[in-house]
């Protein structure tokens, strides 16, 4: 029974089933929006569909136990298949260089008058043939592209490494997002690394579209006895590696200076990014939420705010006020307008861009890269190095018999072979 299971798991039939299943799952995952809440699915589809989606883990399909299960079975299948095939491959590689395997020739031809049998090998783009003897007859033999026999094997190993690298990377990677304006320093997650944004620039083209985002950063490592510090410039497509972490220019947004005053007394003065909350320290139940910023504010026909350009022509700050978690006001501030709550005044000013920097460490990405390159190499070997063997045997009749084998090219090789034999015997 165990032998049967082993045979089935390592079979090509099982591999084909798994591949088809995997393709169906991947396609399914692309149609179901991933990582949303039950309420989101219920609103979009129906309560019942949402229940099915969450029960079957279709909401996080690529991390579901059954998707991982299929991937695991595929890995087992690839591994077993490669282990089983290894001795056969070594044997076949040896045989491919052995002229005595003439019995395996797929195509034969005989020519009575041939001056230079070596020409056949040239015409078939074979390496220079070596002289040998077959059944007491003088013969020429050449074998080409033996490495092609290993193509599928190398490709499978590559895929295994790729899956292993990706899975291990997913399980162990560390990823943080740090955002802020120039001059701010933030701790990177729970690490002992501190990131200072020295400068942040947005390069605009004449038509106001963004050409590039660039952050100048300094990262300090406080984990050792002596603090180490390194600087880098990062922009989209140009990440930097510092202290084993990769730093990426991720995105940007607007921030503003928010001041809370009571009479003439300044109580709070902070830089707030759009999407952030500011609790009023004097009034614990009161919170200001900075929704969005419009550098060139205009009102659309429906009365909603939007920006006419990226230039700071008419700054507008969309905010809302929460009292005991209930929204009590919402508006857009322009010019010198302020928010007044009892004796308190809240002002928004000095709009500036903030940068979002992604910080990541994936120790296994190199494994995935090596796997990908190995898979490429394997496919190249399998597809473009077609193993072939050619024999030319001097017959007692005075003529030559020619034999060839190139299993992957089948009829196409037969045509080439016959044409070449015709050409040299004419």
Q: Which residues of this protein are in contact with another protein, per CB under 8 A?
A: 12-13, 15-16, 19-20, 22-23, 26-27, 29-31, 34, 62, 166, 175, 205, 207, 209-213, 235-239, 246, 248, 250, 358, 360, 365, 368-369, 372-373, 375-376, 379-380, 382-384, 409-412, 415
Nearer to another protein, 216 or 331 (CB): 216
Q: Judge residue 106's burial from the number of C-beta atoms within 10 Å of its C-beta, 0-12 exposed, 13-18 middle, 19 or more buried.
A: middle
Q: Judge residue 351's burial from the number of C-beta atoms within 10 Å of its C-beta, 0-12 exposed, 13-18 middle, 19 or more buried.
A: middle
The minimum distance between CB 208 and another protein, in angstroms, equals: 10
What Rg, from alpha-carbon coordinates, does the chain have? Answer: 35
Which secondary structure element, helix H or strand E, spans residue 294, and what is its range? strand 286-294
Nearer to another protein, 259 or 360 (CB): 360
The minimum distance between CB 67 and another protein, in angstroms, equals: 11
In the block, tokens 């395996």 appear at: 104
Q: Judge residue 3's burial from the number of C-beta atoms within 10 Å of its C-beta, 0-12 exposed, 13-18 middle, 19 or more buried.
A: exposed
Nearer to another protein, 213 or 417 (CB): 213
The minimum distance between CB 63 and another protein, in angstroms, equals: 10
The minimum distance between CB 16 and another protein, in angstroms, equals: 5
What is the DSSP secondary structure assignment for residue 129, as one 8-state letter? P
Region for 378 from its dihedrals, namely left if φ exceeds 0, alpha if ψ lies in -120 to 50, beta otherwise: alpha
Nearer to another protein, 245 or 400 (CB): 245
Nearer to another protein, 45 or 62 (CB): 62
CA–CA gap between residue 97 and residue 120 (Å, rounded): 18
The minimum distance between CB 409 and another protein, in angstroms, equals: 7
Nearer to another protein, 278 or 377 (CB): 377
The minimum distance between CB 423 and another protein, in angstroms, equals: 16
Give 421's contacts (C-beta < 8 A, 6+ positions apart): 109, 111, 120, 402
The minimum distance between CB 384 and another protein, in angstroms, equals: 8
Nearer to another protein, 139 or 382 (CB): 382
Q: Judge residue 301's burial from the number of C-beta atoms within 10 Å of its C-beta, 0-12 exposed, 13-18 middle, 19 or more buried.
A: exposed
Q: Biggest alpha carbon distance in the chain?
A: 118
């Amino acid at each position: 029974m165990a032998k049967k299971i082993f045979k089935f798991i390592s079979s090509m039939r099982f591999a084909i089933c798994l591949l088809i299943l995997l393709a169906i799952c991947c396609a399914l995952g692309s149609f179901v929006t991933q990582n949303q809440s039950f309420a989101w699915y219920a609103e979009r589809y129906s309560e019942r569909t949402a229940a099915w989606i969450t029960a079957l883990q279709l909401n996080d399909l690529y991390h579901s136990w059954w998707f991982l299960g299929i991937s695991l079975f595929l890995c087992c299948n690839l591994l077993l298949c490669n282990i089983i095939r290894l001795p056969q491959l070594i044997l076949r590689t040896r045989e491919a260089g052995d002229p005595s395997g003439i019995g395996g020739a797929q195509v034969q031809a005989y020519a009575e008058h041939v001056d230079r049998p070596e020409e056949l090998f040239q015409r078939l783009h074979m390496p220079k043939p070596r002289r040998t003897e077959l059944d007491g007859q003088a013969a020429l033999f050449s074998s080409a592209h033996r490495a092609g026999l290993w193509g599928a094997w190398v490709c499978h190993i590559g895929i295994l490494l790729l899956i292993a690298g990706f899975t291990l990377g997913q399980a162990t990677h560390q990823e943080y997002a740090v955002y802020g304006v120039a001059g701010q320093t933030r701790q990177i997650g729970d690490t002992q690394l501190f990131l200072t944004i020295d400068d942040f620039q947005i390069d605009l083209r004449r038509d106001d579209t963004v050409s590039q985002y660039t952050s100048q950063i300094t990262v300090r490592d406080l984990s050792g006895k002596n603090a180490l510090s390194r600087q880098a410039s990062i922009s989209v497509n140009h990440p930097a590696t510092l202290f084993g972490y990769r730093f990426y220019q991720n995105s940007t947004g607007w921030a503003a200076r928010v001041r809370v005053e009571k009479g003439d007394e300044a109580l709070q003065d902070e830089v707030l990014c759009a999407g952030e909350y500011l609790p009023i320290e004097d009034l614990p139940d009161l919170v200001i939420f900075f929704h969005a910023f419009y550098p060139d504010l205009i009102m659309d026909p429906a009365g909603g705010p939007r920006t006419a350009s990226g230039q700071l022509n008419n700054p507008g700050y969309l905010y809302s006020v929460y009292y005991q978690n209930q929204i009590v006001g919402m508006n857009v501030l322009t010019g010198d307008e302020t928010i007044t709550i009892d004796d308190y005044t809240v002002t928004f000013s000095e709009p500036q861009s903030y940068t979002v920097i992604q910080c990541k460490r994936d120790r296994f990405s190199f494994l995935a890269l090596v796997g990908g390159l190995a898979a490429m190499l394997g496919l190249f070997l399998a597809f473009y190095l077609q193993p072939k063997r050619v024999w030319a045997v001097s017959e007692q009749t005075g003529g030559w018999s020619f034999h060839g084998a190139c299993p992957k090219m089948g009829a196409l090789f037969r045509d080439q072979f016959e044409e070449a034999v015709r050409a040299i015997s004419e």
